[in-house]
C-alpha cells in the first residue's frame, strides 16, 4: 500500500525538527570539544546522537515525500577550535532545558501527525529524549550542580478557596505550590538566557548582534528579578548556582546566524512558558506580570526575526501555493 502524502502539519513539524536539531548539533559538537568532566561528556554524547538521528530521519521523510531538503545549520556555523566558553555545569543545565523542551515539542508533534511511520519516528524520539532527560538530571545530581526547586511547608489538610481575596493583587496571599513551580522554572530559563547572551555578546564581532544580545541580557535580568522578588514576597528564596557559567573568552565560536536563530527559538519557548504560568496562576498580579513580560519577549523575538531577514539568514519552510498569484 502506498504511503499517504505528508499533511501540512507533518511537513511543518519535520522541517522544524530538522532545522532546530541541525542547530543544536553544532552547539553539542562544540560542547564535546571543550567538556572536561567525563560524566557530563557522556550526557553530551547521548544528546548529540539523538539530535543527529532526529535531524537525519526528519530530512529523509521530507525528501522522500518530494519536499525540498532544508539547509539548516552545519560545520560552518561553529569553530570547534575556539577556547572553552561555557562551564560543564552550564552544559548540563542547557541540555536539561532542551531536553524538557524536546519532550514537550515531540509530544505536540506526535499529536499533529497521522502517518504511521511519522508517528513511529516521533514516539521513538520522545522515548529517547525522556531517557536523556533522566540521564541529565541524574548526572547533575551526582555532580552536585542541579538547581533544585524550593521546598515549602504545606497545610495538613485539603482546603477550598474562601472568597475572591484568594486572587487579589492587593492583599497578596502566600504563593501556592503550582505558582511556585512556574515561577521557579522561569527563573531557571532566564538564567540560561542571561548566560547565553553574555557568552555570545562577548564573542561576536558584529556591533549589531552585540547590541541585540546586550538587550536580551537586560531583559533576562529584569524578568529574573521580577520572578525572584515574587518568590521572596512569600519568604521563598530560590537556590541558584554560584558558578559564573561563562568563561572570559572573547574568541568567536558560533556564526551570528546560529546565535540569532537560537535566541528567537528560546524566546518562543519563553512565551509558551509564560502562557502556561499565567494560565496556572490564581493571583492577578502574577497573571499581569506574565502577560506584560510576554509582550516584551515577543518584541525581542521580532527584533531577532528582523535581523535574520535583513541579513538573509531566514530559511523559509515549505508553503502553500499563492492562488491569487497563479490566477494572475
Residue with cell 570539544: 33
Q: What is the percentage of the chain residues whose pLDDT exceeds 90?
A: 78
Q: Is the pLDDT of residue 241 over 70?
A: no
Of the candidates 10, 61, 11, which has an alpha carbon nearest to the alpha carbon of residue 316?
A: 11
Three cell numbers written together for 274:
509564560
Average pLDDT, the chain: 92
- Average of per-residue pLDDT across 115-133: 95
- pLDDT single digits (tens) 254-279: 999 999 999 999 999 999 999 999 99
Three cell numbers written together for 197:
547572551
User: What three-state secondary structure class fits 63?
Assistant: helix
- pLDDT single digits (tens) 163-187: 777 787 777 888 999 999 999 999 9
Domains of the chain: 8-142 (1.20.1260.10), 171-310 (1.20.1260.10)
Sequence-distant (6+) residues with CB within 8 A of 55 are 17, 18, 21, 22, 25, 72
Please, is 161 exposed, middle or buried when counting C-beta atoms within 10 Å of its C-beta (0-12, 13-18, 19+)?
exposed
Q: What does the alpha-carbon distance between residue 151 and residue 136 come to, in Å, rounded to a whole number?
A: 22
Q: Are 243 and 198 in contact (CB under 8 A)?
A: no
Q: What does the alpha-carbon distance between residue 125 and residue 107 come to, in Å, rounded to a whole number?
A: 10
pTM here is: 0.92
Q: Is the pLDDT of residue 242 over 70?
A: no
Amino acid at each position: 500500500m502506498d504511503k499517504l502524502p505528508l499533511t501540512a502539519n507533518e511537513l511543518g513539524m519535520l522541517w522544524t525538527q530538522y532545522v532546530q536539531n541541525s542547530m543544536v548539533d553544532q552547539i553539542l559538537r562544540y560542547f564535546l570539544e571543550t567538556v572536561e568532566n567525563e560524566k557530563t561528556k557522556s550526557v553530551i554524547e547521548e544528546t548529540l546522537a539523538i539530535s543527529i538521528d532526529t535531524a537525519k530521519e526528519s530530512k529523509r521523510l521530507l525528501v522522500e515525500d518530494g519536499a525540498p531538503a532544508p539547509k539548516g545549520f552545519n560545520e560552518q556555523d561553529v569553530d570547534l577550535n575556539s577556547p572553552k566558553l561555557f562551564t560543564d555545569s552550564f552544559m548540563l543545565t542547557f541540555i536539561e532545558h532542551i531536553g524538557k523542551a524536546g519532550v514537550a515539542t515531540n509530544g505536540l508533534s506526535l499529536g499533529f501527525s497521522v502517518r504511521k511511520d511519522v508517528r513511529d519516528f516521533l514516539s521513538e524520539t520522545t522515548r529517547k529524549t525522556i531517557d536523556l532527560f533522566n540521564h541529565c538530571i541524574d548526572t547533575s545530581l551526582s555532580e552536585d550542580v542541579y538547581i533544585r526547586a524550593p521546598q515549602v511547608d504545606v497545610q495538613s489538610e485539603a482546603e477550598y478557596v474562601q472568597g475572591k481575596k484568594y486572587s487579589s493583587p492587593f492583599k497578596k496571599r502566600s504563593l501556592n505550590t503550582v505558582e511556585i513551580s512556574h515561577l521557579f522554572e522561569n527563573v531557571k530559563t532566564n538564567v540560561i538566557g542571561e548566560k547565553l547572551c553574555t557568552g555570545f555578546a562577548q564573542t561576536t564581532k558584529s556591533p549589531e548582534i552585540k547590541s541585540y544580545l546586550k538587550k536580551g541580557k537586560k531583559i533576562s535580568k529584569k524578568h529574573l528579578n521580577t520572578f525572584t522578588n515574587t518568590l521572596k514576597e512569600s519568604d521563598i528564596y530560590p537556590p541558584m548556582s554560584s558558578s559564573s557559567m561563562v568563561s572570559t573568552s572573547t574568541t568567536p565560536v558560533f556564526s551570528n546566524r546560529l546565535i540569532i536563530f537560537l535566541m528567537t527559538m528560546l524566546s518562543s519557548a519563553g512565551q509558551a512558558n509564560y502562557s502556561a504560568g499565567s494560565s496556572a496562576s490564581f493571583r492577578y498580579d502574577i497573571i499581569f506580570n506574565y502577560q506584560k513580560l510576554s509582550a516584551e519577549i515577543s518584541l525581542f523575538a521580532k527584533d531577532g526575526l528582523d535581523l535574520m531577514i535583513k541579513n538573509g539568514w531566514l530559511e523559509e519552510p515549505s508553503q502553500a501555493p499563492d492562488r491569487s498569484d497563479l490566477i494572475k
